[in-house]
Amino acid sequence: MRLIWHMHSCFEVSDDVTVVIDPHDGRSIGVKPPQLRADIVLISHDHFDHNAIRVVKGDYTVIREVSPRTVKGVAIRGLTAFHDDVGGERRGKVNIFHFTMDGVRFCHLGDLGHMLTPAQVQELGEVDVLFVPVGGVFTIDGVQAQRLVRAIGPKVAVPMHFRVGGLSMSIQNADAFLNGLPEESVVRVGNEVEFEAEDLPERTEHWVFSQ
């Protein structure tokens, strides 16, 4: 199984099927345009830096709702959350997607802007690979993201939606999220990593992707 970070909140998960989450066009946010081909495209919310399906190639199915379904062998479900900490009054709702490929359970939190309740964490269930925003301003920040990772307890936590070189959005970098984590739990993986379900750690690792 291959996992690729295409900057910001856009990830590509591929094996027999390729899932792309929250595509952007690159230029609109000041980074390199991604090269994307997919069978399934998950859209957490309809903001320009998360819904650029026009850049994705292939005969794909677009999913914008969290009701349970199985598409091309991938089991997908989720829950609705908010893009801010005032019930969506400022920035609206976001989809949190939970999907399973080849026995690996992924969860993408989108532009989550608040802490999840214990009931929501329970509803998510077990997560192997968690994509969590850490940049603050428009989402939870690094300190909140650390707390949420501890609450969910994934095998791997992947920070996203943070400031990198060239990004035109005024958000924070990933330092606050990484601060205080055990050194052995932080794994820097470039922009692409290959793994199998049996390779995943028993204790949470934090996989930090780079450009």
Beta strands in 7-73 (DSSP E): 11-14, 18-21, 36-37, 40-42, 56-57, 61-63, 69-71
Q: In this structure, what DSSP letter does residue 127 have?
A: -
The predicted pLDDT at position 92 comes to 83
Domains defined along the chain, listed by start: 2-208 (3.60.15.10)
The predicted pLDDT at position 47 comes to 82
Q: Of the candidates 132, 177, 117, 119, which has an alpha carbon nearest to the alpha carbon of residue 21?
A: 132
The predicted pLDDT at position 76 comes to 98
The predicted pLDDT at position 168 comes to 74
The predicted pLDDT at position 28 comes to 85
The predicted pLDDT at position 45 comes to 83
Backbone angles phi, psi at 55, to 5 degrees: -90, -10
Q: Of the candidates 203, 211, 117, 129, which has an alpha carbon nearest to the alpha carbon of residue 162?
A: 211
Q: 174 and 199 in contact (C-beta within 8 Å)?
A: no
The whole-model pTM stands at 0.95
The predicted pLDDT at position 169 comes to 78
Residue 193, class by beta-carbon neighbours within 10 Å (0-12 exposed, 13-18 middle, 19+ buried)?
A: middle
For residue 187, list its beta bridge partners: 207
Q: 140 and 159 in contact (C-beta within 8 Å)?
A: no
Q: Of the candidates 31, 1, 4, which has an alpha carbon nearest to the alpha carbon of residue 191?
A: 4
Task: Report the chain (211 residues): mean pLDDT per 10 consecutive residues.
Answer: 94 97 88 93 86 93 96 96 84 94 96 95 96 93 97 97 79 92 94 94 95 71
The predicted pLDDT at position 88 comes to 78
The predicted pLDDT at position 85 comes to 82
